[in-house]
């Protein structure tokens, strides 16, 4: 299927009628001025598949500022274009509010074009609301041919433009007298105008759709690439699940070892117990029976352990039970900042705490704390 070219005026408002030209098979097939150029152009019918359409929006000359730049000896084209853009930005009074693009002018020189960012952004939104997402946005005057010694003019309907070399301006009588007084002005009309519009696709190098305004394209993925991505996704999922499972197994093994050690220690006092919870209950009853304990201490101890479960990088190196249900403990971590969330969690649970931070011989952060019920 041959590619179609749809040229439209760049809108200033959301509801204005736009001039448009439909180019196909090397000729202008239709043109008009409508609020919905894509529908009016009738590039494809209601029962036809969407055609391959290249879309170009033409910016009126009064919205852009075009400047020519001298060649830079020894510079590559990319270096020259970058230097031209920087020079244009330096000359702009509102450099942070304009979008500047550059292109070669065909004679080793460079051309830059500038447009206000807000104008470009709002016009692009107006076009997209009409289902037009242009591949290029270029000054209308950039389409005009260059005459060797004369100037040329063209009337796009929405814009009347004059061009002499890289001097492009709105066709205004006052500007004609000031800028083009010594030149013959040749109008581009009829077949010459159609030829200019037909070749517009090759004149979009000065394109405002760059940087933050670049068109987002969908990349086509080949079947082989899809299969490779699928296998990579499967592998990623397996690895993602495998890592937590390995860590969980390590934590379970460590917890089991800790439970075994706790049960062994408790067995010397209260005999064999089935689980740590049973051993803790037996110890509570033994202490109470001997008037050496307080039924209150498991409560702040539970609050401490609950807070520790939320912060895996903090450990308890010492714990003791005092009078009136006070739990004294030493917390250890790499940094003091790691201990703070534990203390905050205990406070938010409604307990009263004291904390004295310090550093041990290895440089690890520690905090001697007490926890009691209010």
CATH 3.40.50.300 fits 294-374, yes or no: no
* Secondary-structure percent of the chain, ordered helix, strand, coil, rounded to 5: 40, 25, 30
Residue pair 14/63 in contact by the 8 Å Cβ criterion: no
Radius of gyration of the chain (CA): 39
Residue pair 321/293 in contact by the 8 Å Cβ criterion: yes
Residues in the chain: 374
Domain residue spans of the chain? 4-213, 220-272, 294-374
Residue range 251-277: average pLDDT? 64
Give me the half-sphere count of Cα atoms (radius 13 Å) on the Cβ side of residue 67: 20
pLDDT at 243 over 80: no
CATH topology of domain 4-213: Nucleotidyltransferase; domain 5 (3.30.420)
More confident site: 66 or 324:
66
pLDDT at 253 over 60: no
pTM (two decimals):
0.59
User: Given this model, what pLDDT does residue 23 score?
Assistant: 96
pLDDT at 322 over 90: no
Q: Which two tokens stand for residue 350?
A: 């409604």
**pLDDT (tens digit per residue) in 108-160:** 789 999 999 999 999 999 999 999 999 999 999 999 998 888 999 999 999 99
Kindly list the distances between the CA atom of residue 315 and the CA atoms of 309, 331, 369, in Å, as whole numbers in the listed order: 10, 6, 13
Whole-number average pLDDT of the chain:
82
């Amino acid at each position: 299927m041959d590619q179609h070219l749809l040229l439209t005026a760049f809108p200033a408002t959301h509801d204005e009628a736009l001039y448009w030209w439909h180019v196909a098979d090397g000729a202008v097939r239709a043109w008009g001025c409508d609020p919905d150029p894509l529908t009016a152009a009738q590039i494809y019918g209601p029962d036809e598949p969407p055609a391959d359409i290249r879309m170009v929006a033409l910016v009126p000359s009064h919205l852009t500022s075009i400047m020519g730049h001298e060649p830079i000896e020894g510079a590559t084209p990319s270096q020259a274009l970058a230097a031209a853009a920087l020079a244009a930005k330096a000359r702009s009074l509102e450099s942070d509010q304009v979008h500047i693009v550059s292109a070669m002018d065909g004679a080793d020189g460079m051309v830059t074009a500038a447009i206000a960012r807000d104008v470009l952004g709002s016009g692009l939104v107006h076009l997209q609301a009409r289902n037009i997402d242009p591949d290029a946005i270029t000054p209308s005057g950039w389409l005009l041919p260059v005459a060797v010694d004369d100037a040329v003019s063209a009337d796009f309907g929405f814009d009347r433009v004059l061009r002499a070399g890289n001097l492009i301006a709105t066709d205004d009588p006052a500007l004609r007298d000031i800028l083009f007084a010594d030149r013959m002005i040749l109008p581009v009309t009829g077949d010459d105008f159609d030829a200019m519009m037909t070749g517009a696709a090759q004149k979009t190098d000065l394109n405002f759709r760059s940087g933050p305004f670049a068109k987002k394209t969908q990349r086509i993925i080949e079947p082989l690439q899809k299969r490779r991505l699928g296998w990579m996704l499967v592998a990623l999922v397996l690895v993602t699940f495998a890592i937590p499972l390995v860590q969980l197994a390590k934590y379970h093994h460590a917890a089991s070892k800790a439970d075994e050690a706790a049960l062994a220690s408790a067995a010397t006092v209260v005999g064999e117990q089935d689980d740590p919870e049973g051993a803790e209950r037996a110890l509570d009853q033994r202490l109470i029976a001997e008037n050496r304990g307080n039924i209150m201490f498991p409560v702040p101890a539970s609050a401490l352990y609950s807070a520790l479960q939320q912060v895996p990088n903090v450990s308890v190196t010492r714990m003791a039970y005092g009078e009136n249900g006070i739990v004294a403990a030493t917390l250890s971590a790499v940094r003091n900042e790691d201990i703070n969330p534990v203390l905050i969690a205990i406070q938010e649970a409604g307990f009263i705490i004291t904390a004295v931070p310090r550093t041990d011989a290895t440089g690890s952060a520690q905090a001697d704390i007490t926890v009691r019920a209010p």
